[in-house]
Copies of this chain bind each other. A is one copy, B any other.
Amino acid sequence: MTDTAPRSSKAEQTRQSIIDAAMGLFRSGGYDQATMRAIADEAGVSVGNAYYYFSSKEHLIQAYYDQIQAAHAEAAEAPLSSEGDFTGRLRGVLLAWVDVAEPYHEFAGKFFKNAAEPSSPLSPFSEDSTAAREAAIELHGRVLDGSDLKLNKALREELPELLWLLQMGIVLFWVHDTSDGQQRTRDLVDQAVPIIDRMLRLTRLPGVRGVVDDIVGLIHLIRP
């Protein structure tokens, strides 16, 4: 059985209990304490059974990660419905991620390992992650949709993906951020968002427009 196949209720229940056990152990004891044996014990199943549902510990962590993503989509609804200008919407969505992800910061590095392993199906750039990635990109599409930003059409089309890349960069910073409550990441978002807003408005300047067109062309060239 793959990790995404349809499942019976009983199997789904066992599967969820393993995720719950992992979540509990992650929160209480950190990543190192959450061994597969401990997780299986806590879930009341055997080690082999845990591997029946999750083909590796990373896949199990990924299921955990998926819940963070879903929580982010939900938390992003507030700013997306209340904020009208681009900076407010973008800041709201980015800070919502920092809020949602905060409890998991301690072992977030383990998540991030997936980003750099190209052969892993868990990589955010991989074929297997297409759905999750496009959902995240779509979220940034909604940041733009409701905003007051006026942009060149070609740039406008690329921007959701570029904003998603920005978010990946912020996640990279966040992973390395050891400040209390990841305050430095919040500061980064607060300061970077208005700058991005100003940069985007500059793209309509005569001298800048040509460069923007080249950048869009470059994106088209390197996209798989």
Question: A208 contacts B202, CB within 8 Å?
Answer: yes
Interface size band for A: 35 or more
The reply on A173 being an interface residue by CB < 8 A is yes
Question: B198 contacts A211, CB within 8 Å?
Answer: yes
A108-122 near B? 1/0 per residue, CB < 8 Å: 011011111111100
Copies of this chain present in the complex amount to 2
Question: A198 contacts B222, CB within 8 Å?
Answer: no
Q: Separation in Å of the A127 CB from the closest CB of chain B?
A: 12
Set B118, B188, B222: member contacting A112, Cβ < 8 A: B118
The reply on A221 being an interface residue by CB < 8 A is yes
Question: B175 contacts A192, CB within 8 Å?
Answer: no
Q: Separation in Å of the A186 CB from the closest CB of chain B?
A: 11
List, in ascending order, chain B residues with CB within 8 A of A194's CB: 214
Q: Contacts A117-B110, A195-B215 known; A221 to B172 CB distance under 8 Å?
A: no
Question: A119 contacts B109, CB within 8 Å?
Answer: yes
Q: Is the interface of A mostly helix, strand, loop or mixed?
A: helix
Question: A214 contacts B195, CB within 8 Å?
Answer: yes
List, in ascending order, chain B residues with CB within 8 A of A175's CB: 116, 118
Question: A218 contacts B191, CB within 8 Å?
Answer: yes
List, in ascending order, chain B residues with CB within 8 A of A117's CB: 109-110, 112-113, 116
The reply on A57 being an interface residue by CB < 8 A is no
Can you name 20 A-B residue pairings with CB atoms under 8 Å?
A109-B120, A112-B118, A113-B116, A113-B117, A116-B116, A116-B117, A116-B172, A116-B175, A118-B178, A187-B222, A188-B221, A191-B221, A191-B222, A192-B218, A194-B214, A195-B211, A195-B214, A205-B205, A205-B207, A205-B208
